[in-house]
Chains A and B, each alone.
Chain A
């Protein structure tokens, strides 16, 4: 935790040094008290030394201090009682000055209370993510921060101003996880693919703050009644993720992420992969050659989705023609015109089927 940062706009800045800032007219020979003070620090030419008097070493500092006071009094022509009064008045002002003490961190969406010192009225400012407020406060009563002012996690600046301003910074930390954002890719995946499915889970509290503290997220992937993957992952900086292979069967792949009672669910459509074995059969009809595939399946035995294109190619002595046919209900069909002896082949993607030889039209 970073310590709170108390900015010190002390009333000492000007008021305590007020005696040194007397108008020039009261100063001897236009020599300011500051200059006298500086000279006395930097030089050792004060009178006692000049007369040969040399105090014992342990009294020298006291001696210098007294001399300095005397020189200031002389320089400002200020009576000793006046100096005491000015210092006393300023000391009283310092004691009565306002100050604010904020806790280092505040949970999001909770009322909090800052203690203040001082007895007068002051203006309180709160500046933070999504918040910028200003209100009058009684210093003796402290400052109450309502829950709705500290909903957004982040750093806040509390400023208290009367004659001068004092400030304190504090952090609002996220509350408990209330929702789990789950991003899963892809939405449609072929079966049996390595590292094809990935998901990222991000916990947020009820105020949409990212929960940075580590929590364990359980990822479960199921296809039908079988479990494809189950893994517990600890969040790091508010993120847990997984990557895994797709299942063996087509259908819905349920992706479930759970953080205690908070859950999130996504669905991935698993589809058949590329055709594995392509076999065709055909026969000559009055209109030409009717050719069709056997049910087209991937290597896991899943029917290839309808719409997958199968290309039939008819080759005879002098001609070559091709027809693209989509798979419908697992089978692709085509009508081809080839009067002579013909060899028909089929292909889908990178998979080639068997060759089919059909004799010439009788």
Chain B
């Protein structure tokens, strides 16, 4: 590659080139939340923001856990059944040498039920992401996925946690 003679221009090119792999490895999640159809209780604005924040963080943690086969990211965002199957996934991936990479995540989240006492919320997530499955570091499958998830979240001490994360063919 020929670099420009101008040092500043050369630096810009180098930064651009070195930054491109970072974009490709982005495991953060984009989440849009719609609470218009939630009921019987209306979702308060502050609750909406917290759910949005915690759901996004949960998917980022999920992606890290399944890509690097580590259980640490699962502590906090997940409880109950959701935590169990993610833990089982990581454990079995470790034993088989597999890893799963979720990238370019885009979640369209809709609250469909919010309990009268505010102790449980059901969300429908239409998730789009690129899933790459690798065996011993070698990619064996890469696929663009559109998956519908039924999600149950409950409030914990300082956040909302995912209790159920179940994919369904359609809503």
Specify which chain A residues have a CB less than 8 angstroms from the CB of B93 in the assembled complex.
132
Quick one: which of B117, B120, B169 contacts A2, CB cutoff 8 A?
A: B169
Q: Is B3 an interface residue (CB 8 A)?
A: no
Q: Is A259 an interface residue (CB 8 A)?
A: no
Contact between B96 and A134, CB atoms less than 8 A apart: yes
Q: How far, in Å, is A72 (CB) from chain B's closest CB?
A: 32
Contact between A127 and B143, CB atoms less than 8 A apart: no
Q: How far, in Å, is B64 (CB) from chain A's closest CB?
A: 16
Q: Is A231 an interface residue (CB 8 A)?
A: no
User: Taking each of B86, B97, B100, B166, which has the highest tally of chain A beta carbons within 10 Å of its own beta carbon?
Assistant: B166
Q: How many A-B residue pairs have CB under 8 A?
A: 113
Contact between A131 and B133, CB atoms less than 8 A apart: no
Segment of B14-22, B45-53, B108-116 in the binding face = B108-116
Q: Is B68 an interface residue (CB 8 A)?
A: no
Specify which chain B residues have a CB less than 8 angstroms from the CB of A243 in the assembled complex.
40, 116
Q: Is A239 an interface residue (CB 8 A)?
A: yes
Question: For the complex, would chain A's binding face be called helix, strand, loop or mixed by DSSP majority?
Answer: strand
Q: Provide the A163-197 mask, 1 if CB < 8 A to any CB of B, else 0.
A: 00101000100000000000101100000000000
Q: Is A161 an interface residue (CB 8 A)?
A: yes
Specify which chain B residues have a CB less than 8 angstroms from the CB of A130 in the assembled complex.
84-86, 88-89, 92
Contact between B113 and A239, CB atoms less than 8 A apart: yes
Q: Is B135 an interface residue (CB 8 A)?
A: yes
Q: How far is the CA of A307 from the CA of B31 in the complex (A)?
A: 50
Top 8 nearest A-B pairs (CB, nearest first) are A130-B85, A130-B88, A154-B167, A198-B116, A132-B92, A155-B167, A185-B117, A132-B93
11 further contact pairs, Cβ within 8 A, besides A159-B133, A241-B40: A105-B169, A129-B89, A129-B167, A131-B92, A165-B141, A198-B116, A200-B116, A209-B81, A236-B113, A237-B122, A237-B171
A interface with B by C-beta (< 8 Å): 1-2, 5, 7, 104-105, 123, 125, 127, 129-134, 152-155, 157, 159, 161, 165, 167, 171, 183, 185-186, 198, 200, 202, 208-210, 212, 236-239, 241, 243
